[in-house]
Amino acid sequence: MRHILLVITACILALTGTAALAQQSFDAGGMRIVFDDPPSYPGVRLLEMRRAADGGLSGKLTSDWYGDMPMSNLAIDGKVLRFDVRNINTRDMPTRRWTATLTDKGLLLQGGVWHSDVRQIGRPASAEEYAALAYHEAPLPPLGTIAPDGLAATPPMGWSSWNKFAEHIDDKTIRAMADAMVSSGLRDAGYVYVNIDDGWQGTRGPDGELRPNAKFPDMKALADYVHGKGLKLGLYSSPGLKTCAGYTGSYGHVAQDAKTFARWGVDYLKYDLCSGEWQYADADTVKRTYYEMGAALKATGRPIVYSLCQYGRFEVASWGRSVGGHLWRTTGDITDDYAKMSEIGFERNPKFGHAGPGGWNDPDMLEVGNGGMSRDEYITHMTLWAMSAAPLLMGHDLREMDDFTLRALKNRDVIAVDQDALGVQGKPVRKDGALEIWAKPLKDGSVALAAFNRGDKPLTASLSAHDAGLGALSAARDLWSGKAVDPAAATFDLPPHGALMLRVSAR
Ligand code: GLA
């Protein structure tokens, strides 16, 4: 009975507060509005207006994705307040115009971030509500340098859930992938990381500790299972408040999350900028936020491979290693089509002089086996990634593989080029129309040579000692057919979008 009375009183108060809003004026400032059920993106929970001692009017929105979003260019027009809010898609639209309108039903807020618009009604917030929803800025540490730790001496190899499953993942599926990795022979070919990408996170407990969602009942048990198969477990988080798919990020909980991951037995962390683009919009803060997690992982004492994912911004290849990164994405997301894969592999990922043992340029996960490219195109995908010393993280359903897919992924000669201990990222040495020749020097003095047909018509290629940077060739092996070829006489037919890969040695 007492409870019902309290609820009724609260409702009456809220209603009178809401109606009274229409009588208020933005000029006064001192307004705190709460939105009970905002659209999930960007999740605006609070609006606050202040009148400073010097008379200046300012305001901000507080959102689930970005924390505080200050208003600029405020203009009052009767019951309507217009203002600008920074838009994180800064390239073509640095700000968006919002409006707040005082109505009988409450405060109507309209506007958007990154192309999507919201329309939501708010009511006056109590002091308790405001305190509970206020954003607490988490300061970043000064930038430091993390010494090499010997991990990822060669590019990491494994599987990741995102390309095939996106957020439709659960404990059972991850265990099934670990099983398939072993039964298919892929583990023994070198693929050891089983990486859970976005979508495993739940909410934080009262102590702030991040808990998995209901689809992952026991992360430690899952790690034990994966380890029991001779494999390693990877997990995913973001320096922002939200991950790209809208799950809980590590903002304000970096050291705590690193400890939690280590306690669960995690061996690999992908740290994806996502909503953190709001707080960390320049080179200095991006470096520091990646350093913060790098240092937190180190402090756990557990060897954890650290994968930076900020889409290649601010020339990450030149500093990824110093913030503790073992691999860093050089590009936006891959998709399962030749146009995107080849753009990433040929144009975006070549950032020479930085990749090598302990730190690798990452052109994103493999699409081999997902069905969007032809066989020739998938051979090009594997050849290009191996020539680039790229991480080989498979992205398909390991339970459903045809022979071609398995053979392409398990080719030991191709893997050996990717994993070569010298750790040199191969590069183009000759371009002739649609033909592109790449060379990658290997530890034993031999050279991997690849010929790519980037065009739509078949072509014929010949490869020379000069392409390999060698005086004369004594032996050559076609790594896709497994056959020896005569290095002097050989010409090769390349199908459209196809590739050839040789390992050649000097006389
Ligand atoms: C970003 C990353 C992807 C993937 C998704 C998950 O887009 O670049 O690799 O992790 O987020 O939401």
Q: Is the pLDDT of residue 5 over 60?
A: no
d(CA 414, CA 480): 8
For 281-339, what is each residue's pLDDT tens digit? 999 999 999 999 999 999 999 999 999 999 999 999 999 999 999 999 999 999 999 99
d(CA 202, CA 209): 10
- Percent residues over pLDDT 70 in the chain: 96
Cβ-Cβ contacts under 8 Å for 441 (sequence gap 6 or more): 422, 424, 447, 469
What is the phi/psi pair of residue 392, to 5°?
A: -110, 90
Q: Are 255 and 42 in contact (CB under 8 A)?
A: no
**In angstroms, what is the span from residue 302 Cα to ligand 1's centroid?**
25
pLDDT of residue 7: 45
Mean pLDDT of 452-466: 95
Cα dihedral sign, 414-420-423-426: negative
Q: What residues does 462 pair with on adjacent strands?
A: 491
pLDDT of residue 9: 45
- Percent residues over pLDDT 90 in the chain: 86
Of 24-28, 373-377, 460-464, the poorest mean pLDDT is in: 24-28
Q: Give the C-alpha distances (Å, rounded to integers) separating 99 from 22, 123, 490.
A: 15, 16, 69
**272 is a catalytic site residue:** yes
HEC sequence for 150-178: CCCCCCCEEEECHHHHCCCCCHHHHHHHH
Cβ-Cβ contacts under 8 Å for 343 (sequence gap 6 or more): none
* pLDDT band, very low/low/confident/very high, at 21 (cuts 50, 70, 90): confident
Return the beta strands (E) in 71-209 as ranges.
72-77, 80-86, 95-103, 106-113, 116-124, 157-160, 193-195, 201-204
**In angstroms, what is the span from residue 255 Cα to ligand 1's centroid?**
22
Q: From the CA of 365, give the closest atom in ligand 1.
A: 9
Q: Is the pLDDT of residue 475 over 80?
A: yes
Whole-structure pTM value: 0.95
Residue nearest to atom 8 of ligand 1 (CA): 333
* pLDDT band, very low/low/confident/very high, at 115 (cuts 50, 70, 90): confident
For 159-171, what is each residue's pLDDT tens digit? 999 999 999 999 9
Neighbour count for residue 206 (Cβ, 10 Å): 5
Among residues 84, 179, 333, 376, which one is catalytic? 333
Q: Is the pLDDT of residue 455 over 80?
A: yes
d(CA 161, CA 198): 8
> Do the strands 232-237 and 268-272 form a parallel or antiparallel pair, or are they unpaired?
parallel
Q: Are 493 and 373 in contact (CB under 8 A)?
A: no
pLDDT of residue 90: 63
d(CA 296, CA 284): 18
Q: What residues does 108 pair with on adjacent strands?
A: 101, 121
Cβ-Cβ contacts under 8 Å for 347 (sequence gap 6 or more): none
* pLDDT band, very low/low/confident/very high, at 6 (cuts 50, 70, 90): very low
Pocket of ligand 1 (CB under 6 A): 162, 197-198, 243-245, 272, 309, 333
> Do the strands 360-362 and 327-329 form a parallel or antiparallel pair, or are they unpaired?
parallel
Report, in angstroms and rounded to the nearest whole number, the Rg of the chain calculated over CA atoms: 27
d(CA 121, CA 104): 11
pLDDT of residue 4: 53
d(CA 464, CA 489): 10
For 218-239, what is each residue's pLDDT tens digit? 999 999 999 999 999 999 999 9
**In angstroms, what is the span from residue 198 Cα to ligand 1's centroid?**
7
pLDDT of residue 264: 98
Residue nearest to atom 6 of ligand 1 (CA): 198
**333 is a catalytic site residue:** yes
Q: Which amino acid is at 344?
A: I
Q: From the CA of 245, give the closest atom in ligand 1.
A: 12
pLDDT of residue 488: 73
> What tokens does 469 get?
């940077």
For 191-224, what is each residue's pLDDT tens digit? 999 999 999 999 999 999 999 999 999 999 999 9
Burial profile 48-79: b = 16 or more Cβ within 10 angstroms, e = fewer: bbebeeeeebebbbbbbbbbbbebeebeeeeb
Mean pLDDT of 96-101: 96
For 128-160, what is each residue's pLDDT tens digit? 999 999 999 999 999 999 999 999 999 999 999
d(CA 182, CA 226): 10
Residue 430 exposed, middle or buried by CB count within 10 Å (0-12, 13-18, 19+) = middle
Cα dihedral sign, 244-246-250-252: positive
**In angstroms, what is the span from residue 364 Cα to ligand 1's centroid?**
10
